């Protein structure tokens, strides 16, 4: 069994800051050309299309586009095109496909349908000679580099970063543009955070909830997936608002909850849910920039609230890598999974 700092997952997650910096520099011209087109011919709406961790990245993209640009953004159901063979009305839409490999048949089929319907297809893809990259109208390479671990880390963070750079340059928001410049160093700071209390607390756990809200929901979704993939630990992700509509009935003593709170208008409400669950006797860990106290997982201040989910996930990756090993798993080779998953 490898040590915590010798897994491929650890090495790849540690490289995320450098990969994001490389992506921002390499893609600036491509993004600016895309932005010029989008300003000249504004899309009626945006649709994202993805699976797995990439779909969690798309959740982040939805909240980012809607809060920064005010553009309605929907998540495509790939089976509608690939299995049900329905061709949605996508004329004049921006259709964003997110994929590490660019090979999954269902994503390719939906991209073909969108392009034929008159959408502008943008691919956020790590493999630049993939079928998806060849099909897309615009390719935004993730520049994450090769990943050997089945569990995606730097490619996920690079997917979020690609959405961030596009939203910043499209909106022209000076604060968001400055945050992009500061993001790589902020990611390096997040990687150094000590979340060992979470590792100790979940070593023998059977289940947990992971909560986030708004821009932070994607971080909760990604964390829940990583718990399942790398730790054999059943985890469910919920919005801190949605969890109150039924699921919270099972939270009590011995039911762990991990909470990701944003440093924006959703933060106070999310932190209040954490306190409510702690009052019931549940083991609760709260990650929130600048927060202190019992059960708080440290996070550095983000250069912008839109960057907080990336810092949260970066800190989390170090912890879940260690937790996987503590539970007797190898995070690089989860059972029954392959690095490239192809669905139809």
For residue 316, being part of any structural domain is answered with yes
54 and 140 part of one domain? yes
Rounded to 5 degrees, what are φ and ψ at 225?
A: -65, -45
Query: In this predicted structure, what is the pLDDT of residue 150?
Result: 81
pTM: 0.95
User: Which of 226, 228, 224 has its CA nearest to residue 259?
Assistant: 224
For residue 338, being part of any structural domain is answered with no
CATH of the domain at 297: 3.40.50.10490
What is the 3 state secondary structure string of 35-51? Answer: HHHHHHCCCCCEEEECC
Number of independent structural domains in the chain: 2
148 and 214 part of one domain? no
132 and 195 part of one domain? no
Phi-psi region of 182 (alpha: psi -120 to 50; beta: other; left: phi over 0): alpha
Query: In this predicted structure, what is the pLDDT of residue 42?
Result: 98
For residue 291, being part of any structural domain is answered with yes
149 and 37 part of one domain? yes
CB atoms within 10 A of CB 190: 26
pLDDT < 70 positions in the chain = 335-344
Strand runs labelled E in the chain: 46-49, 73-75, 94-99, 120-125, 138-141, 207-212, 234-239, 257-260, 284-287, 296-297
For the stretch 35-91, pLDDT in tens is 999 999 999 999 999 999 999 999 999 999 999 999 999 999 888 888 888 899 999
218 and 292 part of one domain? yes
206 and 161 part of one domain? no
CA separation for the pair 278, 275 (Å, rounded): 5
* Residue 242 lies in domain: 190-326
Query: In this predicted structure, what is the pLDDT of residue 343?
Result: 65
């Amino acid at each position: 069994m490898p040590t915590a700092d010798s897994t491929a997952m650890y090495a790849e997650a540690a490289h995320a800051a450098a990969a994001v910096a490389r992506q921002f520099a390499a893609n600036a011209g491509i993004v600016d050309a895309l932005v010029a087109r989008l300003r000249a011919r504004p899309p009626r709406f945006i649709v994202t299309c993805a699976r797995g961790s990439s779909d969690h990245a798309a959740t982040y993209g939805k909240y980012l586009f809607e809060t920064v640009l005010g553009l309605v953004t929907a998540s495509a159901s790939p089976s509608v095109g690939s299995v049900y063979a329905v061709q949605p009305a996508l004329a004049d839409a921006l259709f964003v496909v997110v994929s590490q490999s660019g090979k999954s048949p269902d994503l390719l089929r939906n991209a073909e349908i969108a392009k034929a319907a008159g959408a502008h297809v943008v691919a956020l893809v790590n493999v630049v000679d993939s079928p998806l990259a060849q099909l897309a109208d615009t390719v935004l390479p993730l520049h994450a580099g090769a990943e050997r671990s089945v569990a995606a880390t730097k490619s996920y963070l690079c997917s979020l970063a690609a959405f961030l750079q596009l939203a910043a340059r499209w909106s022209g928001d000076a604060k968001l543009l400055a945050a992009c410049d500061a993001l790589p160093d902020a990611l390096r700071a997040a990687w150094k955070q000590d979340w060992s209390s979470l590792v100790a607390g979940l070593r023998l756990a059977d289940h947990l909830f992971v909560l986030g809200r708004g821009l932070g929901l994607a971080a909760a979704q990604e964390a829940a997936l990583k718990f399942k993939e790398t730790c054999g630990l059943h985890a469910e992700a919920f919005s801190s608002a949605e969890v109150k509509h039924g699921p919270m009935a099972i939270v009590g003593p011995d039911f762990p909850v991990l909470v990701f709170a944003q440093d924006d208008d959703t933060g106070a409400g999310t932190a209040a849910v954490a306190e409510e669950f702690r009052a019931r006797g549940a083991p609760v860990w709260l990650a929130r920039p600048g927060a202190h106290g019992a059960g708080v997982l440290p996070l550095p201040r983000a250069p912008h609230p839109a960057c907080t989910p990336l810092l949260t996930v970066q800190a989390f990756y170090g912890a879940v890598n260690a937790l996987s090993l503590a539970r007797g798993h190898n995070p690089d080779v989860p059972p029954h999974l392959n690095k490239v998953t192809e669905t139809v």
